[in-house]
Structure 1
């Protein structure tokens, strides 16, 4: 059984890194989609990430379950819900919804996580403070994305696209819960096999939906490799370390950071216009994190100011 997770400075650093990395990912996905189709982009980045992760895992000894307890079914499901299924749902859904709604749907993952963790993860109870903090953070994301958050795209498939985007956020929440509940397991093996199981689904799906893979140009191949290396293989490893040590609810805070970093990088890198509401939105998002994690922050600073023995 898991007790209430102890959140360390390293956990905070990893969550902040994930927010920045995944926030920047949207820029590279837009560039990659100029030279490759959506499903093959997902298949390419997951397949390349799986090869890298398996190589690293084998170099480290190739251990998996660290005790006699095994859970192959949960491991396979967590791999499917970790990358392949949400990537495909998002790729399909974003063709008929606004980018603002896609961002809000990803942020909703933190709210979806609360009841799942409450029921299935010991030590992750819903408290009034945690719920208020998550809601405040979600409001911050909707302010950040503005009117486009719930504006209609006019596409006849939009209702189904919206369901697909919310389904993707739900997949990430389910995956996090499954990973937290696994018995003692090598995190590198977990990261590798999660990507392998994802590849086994997404590559055949890409063939069925989009036919044989296109032959992208060198620039597109480089971007796909970069997406496989950093936001897929590397970030997947960090995500698993956070879930296994600090718990899935703490990990879900990343979903509030991603839209914030995406907007900030759009302003800094692409020259998109700055809006004053950005400051209000960032304030609400940070306030939500502060409220929901107040106990963890108190313990962190108390430990940091305690004299060493």
Structure 2
């Protein structure tokens, strides 16, 4: 059990992770100026897979073994993570950002830890939905409804913008499923696990991009820089940083990054892209973060 306080390095890495992941939505916006949504996902995944495979083999971890039953279970979980934590949400977010702001897409990422709560209650032993977690989930769910838009929900119809909002929420749902799949995976080197997941995701998404969008032609420099940023920083380097934070400070400490990402996404979208967010979306962000905070509060235990 981890008892020491997180180090200054852990806090710095946590801050940088929030900034890097918050900036990924700006990267997607730039990448979409020259690539289709599937190619944005495919290039970032393939580039990150090459980088992480190199790091995994350079550090002696390599890929998970496949000969034993345990090894095959690990690869099965890698496949689940590949689809639900990489290929599917990256594509959904890229498509959604064709029609919504990068700040809006970033706000939807605050929904992920809230969606994990009911999934963990069902699939993870010992993770029960306590009254505190139910209250937090309820508050956050109101924020999600506000984020999608009451008119869209009440009418049961969604135009292009409504579908784009739903695509971003669906990406959050996908991330939540991927988080549960990863959590239930047999123990093993995290970097090796991540590299295998990205390898599988690349094998899946690159053919999809080729079949659905063809070969990209003459993308502008901004688009190329956008996908390079996505592949190198938020997908590859951030994974290495994430593994270090988990190993030195624990997963609960890492969960604090969920408060940063949407805030950075909104700030970067406003400063760099000149985006403006309706009061409705900012109110939704406030409700979602309040729900997240409520669900994570640790009440002091009474002493005997």
Normalised TM-score (structure 1): 0.74
Counterpart Cα distance in 1 of 2:214 and 2:105: 26
Which residue pairs with 2:125 in the alignment?
Answer: 122
Cα displacement string for residues 131-167 of structure 1 (whole angstroms, at most 9, x for unaligned residues): 3234445656777x6xx85566x97456655554333
1:228 aligns with 2:231: yes
The alignment partner of 1:183 has SS state of: coil
Structure 2 CA distance, aligned partners of 1:284 and 1:199?
36
Alpha-carbon offset, residue 57 of structure 1: 0.5
Q: How does 1:1-309 map to 2 (within 5 A)?
A: 9=6, 16-65=15-64, 69-70=70-71, 71=73, 72-95=75-98, 102=105, 105-136=108-139, 149=149, 156=159, 161=164, 163-239=166-242, 246=250, 254-255=257-258, 257-272=260-275, 287-295=290-298
SS of aligned partner of 1:295: coil
Describe the shift of the 1:112–1:242 C-alpha distance in structure 2 as closer, same or farther (beyond 3 A).
farther
Moved more, 237-246 or 43-52: 237-246
Bigger Cα displacement from structure 2, 77-86 vs 87-96: 87-96
Deviates more, 1:211-220 or 1:184-193: 211-220
* Total equivalences in the alignment: 290
Aligned with 2:239: secondary structure?
A: helix
Cα distance, 1:41 vs. partner?
1.4
Partner of 1:304: none
Q: Secondary structure at the match of 1:213?
A: coil
- Cα separation, 2, equivalents of 1:112 and 1:7: 29
Unaligned runs of at least 5 residues, structure 1: 300-309
State whether residues 20 and 258 of structure 1, in contact with CA within 8 Å, keep that contact through their aligned partners in structure 2.
yes
Q: Structure 1 pair 7/18, CA: closer, same or farther in 2 (3 Å)?
A: farther
TM-aligned CA deviation for residue 37 of structure 1: 2.1
CA distance in 1, matches of 2:36, 2:111: 27
Q: Secondary structure at the match of 1:108?
A: helix
Conserved 8 A contact 1:98-1:149: no
RMSD value, Cα: 4.0
Kept after mapping to 1: 8 A contact 2:84/2:178: yes
